[in-house]
C-alpha cells in the first residue's frame, strides 16, 4: 500500500457535492477525482512531507462546457442516468412520484436514486427513454453515482420481493399502501399532545409533545418524503411537510437524507451523516482525532438533547447557501424554498408563540425545553444506532471496509447498503419507528411502505445468508444501543486511519 503526500485546496471542497458537482474550481483543484462534500476538513495524503497540488489532473472542464455554469446546459433541467444526459423538463409535471421528488435528480447523476426508488425499474426506464437526450453533454464532468441495478444481490432480492411479497400487485401501488392507519395514529397522538401542551405548557406536556415530534420525524415525514406513505404523491408531499411543523425542513431533509445519506451510506466523503457532527463527535476513525474524542461516548449524551436546535441553524444556512452540508439543491423550486420559511414560521408559532401568548414566557420556555430535549434524544439515538456499530462501520479491515474502500462507481451498492446498516427488534419497533428499526430493508427499498419491511426482511436475510454477507440484526433496542456506545468509545480512541482515493491512501485533515 503506497502512502503519498498531498494537501488539498479548500476552494475545491466549496463546490463539491454528494452525487452532484465535481467541484471544478478553475483556480486550484484537488488531485483526486472523487467529489467531496464541503466540510471543515480537507484531504491530506498521509505524508512524510506535504505539498500543495495546483495542477488539475483529472477535473478540468471538459470540452462540452461546464454543465452547472454554461447557459448551453443550465437552460435544461438535466439529469444523468447510466452515462446519458436527459432533459427532464417535459416530465416535471408528469412524474407519477411527484415533481418534488423528481427535482432531486436535477443537476446530478441520478442513477442510484432512480434504481433504488422504482420497484418496477423497467417501467421507469421506458418513460426515461422517451425523454430528450442531450447530445454533446459533458457527462464526464459529473461524478458517477452508484448503479444499484448492477448489484447481483439487489436484483435477486428485488425480484423475490416482487414475486413473493407483492405478487404482481405492485402494478396497483401495493408497495406504497398499508401505512394509512399508522399515519392516522401518529397524527391523532400529535394533535392530542399539542392540545395538552397549549392547555398547560410545562416540561411534562412539552416532553409528550416531543415524543409526537420524534414519532412524526421517524414515521410520517420520513416515509412521506421518501414517497412511500401513499400511492398519491400529493399525500406523500403533505405528510413530508409535517417535518417542517415538527421543527425540521422537508426540503433540506430530502437532499441531506436521500441524496447524500441514502445513496452513499457510511461513505466518509459523501454521506453527510458521517461528518456533519465533526469535530464535536467523531463518527468514523477516518476523521481526525482530537484529545476529547476518547470521551465522546460520555459527553454525547449532553450534546444529543440539542440536536433540534442544531437543525434550526443548519436549515437556515442551507436555505441561504442552496445546499445542505453534503448536497447542492440544484433542482429546488422557488415554491419549495418558500415552504421552508413558511414551515419555520409555523413551527416557531406553534412551539413558542402560542404557548407564550397563552401562558407567559416562563411556562413556554419550560414546555419548549421539554419538547426539544425529548424529540432530540429520541431522534439522535434511533438514527445513530442504525449505522454506527462495529458491524456497519468496522474500525478494522473486513468486508464493510473493503466495500467502502472501492470507488463509488465500482462498489456493489446493494452489498454496501446491507453492510452499513443494522436492524433491531421486530413488529412493535417497526410500528413506532416507521420501519427504521429494519434499517437494512429501508435502505434497500426507501420507497416501499414500512409495513412491508418485516416480510421483506426474511428475503433479505436469506439472500445475504446464501452469499455469506453479514446481516446485522439485534433483538432489542437496548442491545444495539450498548453496541453503539461501545462503538463510539472505540471510534473516539482509535488512531486516524487513511482512506482510499483513486487507489491511493489519503488522510483527512482539518483545515
Q: Does 145 bind ligand HEM (CB under 6 A)?
A: no
469 touches ligand HEM (CB under 6 A): no
Nearer to ligand HEM, 32 or 91 (CB): 91
Contacts with ligand HEM, 380-409, as mask; x by CB under 6 A: ------------------------------
Q: Which of 72, 95, 473, 500 touches ligand HEM by CB under 6 A?
A: 95
The reply to whether 123 sits near ligand HEM by the rule CB under 6 A is yes
The interaxial angle of helices 307-321 and 361-387, nearest 10 deg, is 80
Q: Which of 6, 19, 53, 119 binds ligand HEM (CB under 6 A)?
A: 119
Residue position matching grid coordinates 420497484: 119
Please report how close the Cβ of residue 104 comes to ligand HEM at its closest, in angstroms. 4
Residues touching ligand HEM, count (CB under 6 A): 24
Binding to ligand HEM by residue 279, rule CB under 6 A?
Answer: no
Stretch that binds ligand HEM, among 16-24, 94-102, 344-352, 374-382 (CB under 6 A): 94-102
Select 3 or 123, whichever has its Cβ closest to ligand HEM: 123
| Burial class (CB within 10 angstroms; exposed 0-12, middle 13-18, buried 19+) of 125 | middle
162 binds ligand HEM (CB under 6 A): no
To ligand HEM, the closest distance from the beta carbon of 370 in angstroms equals 35
Is position 447 an interface residue for ligand HEM (rule: CB under 6 A)? yes
What cell numbers appear for 64 in the block? 462540452
* Residue 332 binds ligand HEM, judged by CB under 6 A: no
Q: What gap in Å lies between CA 69 and CA 62, rounded to an integer?
A: 13
134 or 389, CB closer to ligand HEM?
Answer: 134
Residues in region 166-225 near ligand HEM by CB under 6 A: 176
Which residue, 119 or 380, is less far from ligand HEM as judged by CB? 119
Do 43 and 508 meet the contact criterion of CB atoms below 8 Å apart?
yes
Distance CA 328, CA 338 (A): 17
Residue 506 bridge partners (DSSP): 499
What does the alpha-carbon distance between residue 271 and residue 133 come to, in Å, rounded to a whole number? 30
CA 94/CA 395 separation, integer angstroms: 46
Radius of gyration from C-alpha coordinates of the chain: 22
Minimum Å gap between C-beta 95 and ligand HEM is 5
CB of 169 to ligand HEM, least distance (A): 12
| 424: its cell numbers | 433491531
Region class of 340: left (phi > 0), else alpha (psi between -120 and 50), else beta: alpha
Show the cell assigned to 390: 462495529
Nearest to 149, CA basis, from 121, 107, 184? 121
CB of 142 or CB of 287, closer to ligand HEM: 142
Nearer to ligand HEM, 114 or 215 (CB): 114
Is residue 113 involved in binding ligand HEM (CB under 6 A)?
A: yes
The phi, psi pair for 369, rounded to 5°, reads -65, -40
329 near ligand HEM, judged by CB under 6 A: no
Nearest to 332 by CA among 95, 102, 114, 19: 102
Contacts 24+ apart (CB under 8 A), 231-236: 231/172, 231/173, 231/176, 231/177, 233/95, 233/96, 233/97, 233/98, 233/100, 233/101, 234/98, 236/98
> Least CB distance from residue 105 to ligand HEM, whole Å?
4
Nearest alpha-carbon partner for 19 in 143, 141, 111, 120:
143
Residue 180 CB, shortest distance to ligand HEM, in Å, is: 16
Name the residue nearer to ligand HEM (CB basis): 273 or 285.
273
> For ligand HEM, what does the binding mask look like between residues 228 and 267, x meaning CB under 6 A?
------------------------------x---------
Which residue of 96, 305, 353, 498 would you call a contact of ligand HEM, by CB under 6 A?
Answer: 96
Q: How many CB atoms lie within 10 A of CB 75?
A: 10
Q: What residues make contact with ligand HEM under the rule CB under 6 A?
A: 79, 91, 95-97, 101-102, 104-105, 110, 113-114, 117-120, 123-124, 127-128, 176, 227, 258, 447
Amino acid at each position: 500500500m503506497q502512502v503519498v503526500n498531498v494537501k488539498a485546496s479548500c476552494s475545491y471542497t466549496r463546490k463539491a457535492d454528494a452525487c452532484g458537482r465535481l467541484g471544478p474550481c478553475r483556480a486550484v483543484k484537488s488531485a483526486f477525482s472523487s467529489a467531496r462534500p464541503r466540510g471543515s476538513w480537507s484531504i491530506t495524503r498521509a505524508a512524510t512531507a506535504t505539498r500543495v497540488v495546483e495542477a488539475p489532473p483529472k477535473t478540468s472542464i471538459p470540452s462540452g462546457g461546464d454543465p452547472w455554469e454554461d447557459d448551453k446546459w443550465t437552460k435544461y433541467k438535466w439529469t444523468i442516468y447510466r452515462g446519458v444526459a436527459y432533459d427532464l423538463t417535459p416530465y416535471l409535471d408528469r412524474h407519477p412520484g411527484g415533481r418534488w421528488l423528481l427535482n432531486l435528480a436535477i443537476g446530478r447523476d441520478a442513477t442510484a436514486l432512480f434504481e433504488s426508488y422504482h420497484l418496477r425499474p423497467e417501467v421507469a426506464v421506458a418513460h426515461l427513454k422517451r425523454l430528450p437526450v442531450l447530445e454533446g453533454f459533458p457527462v464526464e464532468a459529473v461524478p458517477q453515482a452508484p448503479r444499484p441495478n448492477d448489484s447481483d444481490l439487489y436484483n435477486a432480492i428485488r425480484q423475490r420481493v416482487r414475486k413473493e411479497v407483492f405478487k404482481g400487485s405492485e402494478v396497483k401501488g401495493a408497495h406504497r399502501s398499508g401505512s394509512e392507519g399508522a399515519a392516522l395514529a401518529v397524527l391523532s397522538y400529535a394533535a392530542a399532545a399539542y392540545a395538552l401542551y397549549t392547555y398547560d405548557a410545562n416540561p411534562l406536556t412539552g416532553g409528550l409533545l416531543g415524543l409526537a415530534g420524534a414519532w412524526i420525524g421517524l414515521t410520517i415525514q420520513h416515509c412521506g418524503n421518501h414517497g412511500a406513505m401513499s400511492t398519491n404523491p400529493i399525500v406523500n408531499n403533505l405528510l413530508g411537510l409535517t417535518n417542517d411543523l415538527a421543527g425540521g425542513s422537508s426540503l433540506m431533509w430530502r437532499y441531506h437524507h436521500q441524496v447524500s445519506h441514502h445513496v452513499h451510506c457510511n461513505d466518509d466523503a459523501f454521506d453527510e451523516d458521517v461528518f456533519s457532527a465533526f469535530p464535536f463527535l467523531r463518527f468514523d476513525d477516518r476523521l481526525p482525532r482530537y484529545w476529547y474524542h476518547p470521551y465522546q461516548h460520555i459527553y454525547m449524551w449532553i450534546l444529543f438533547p440539542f440536536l433540534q436546535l442544531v437543525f434550526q441553524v443548519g436549515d437556515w444556512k442551507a436555505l441561504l447557501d442552496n445546499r445542505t452540508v453534503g448536497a447542492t439543491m440544484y433542482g429546488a423550486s422557488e415554491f419549495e424554498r418558500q415552504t421552508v420559511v413558511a414551515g419555520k414560521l409555523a413551527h416557531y408559532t406553534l412551539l413558542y408563540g402560542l404557548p407564550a401568548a397563552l401562558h407567559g414566557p416562563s411556562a413556554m420556555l419550560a414546555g419548549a425545553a421539554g419538547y426539544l430535549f425529548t424529540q432530540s434524544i429520541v431522534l439522535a439515538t434511533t438514527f445513530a444506532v442504525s449505522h454506527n456499530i462495529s458491524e456497519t462501520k468496522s474500525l478494522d479491515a473486513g468486508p464493510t471496509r473493503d466495500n467502502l474502500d472501492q470507488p463509488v462507481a465500482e462498489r456493489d451498492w446493494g452489498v454496501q447498503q446491507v453492510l452499513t446498516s443494522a436492524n433491531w427488534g421486530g413488529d412493535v419497533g417497526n410500528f413506532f419507528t416507521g420501519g427504521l428499526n429494519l434499517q437494512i430493508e429501508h435502505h434497500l427499498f426507501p420507497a416501499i411502505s414500512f409495513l412491508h419491511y418485516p416480510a421483506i426482511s426474511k428475503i433479505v436475510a436469506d439472500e445475504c445468508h446464501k452469499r455469506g454477507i453479514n446481516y446485522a440484526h439485534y433483538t432489542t433496542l437496548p442491545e444495539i444501543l450498548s453496541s453503539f456506545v461501545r462503538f463510539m468509545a472505540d471510534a473516539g480512541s482509535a488512531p486516524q486511519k487513511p482512506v482510499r482515493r483513486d487507489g491511493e491512501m489519503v488522510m483527512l485533515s482539518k483545515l
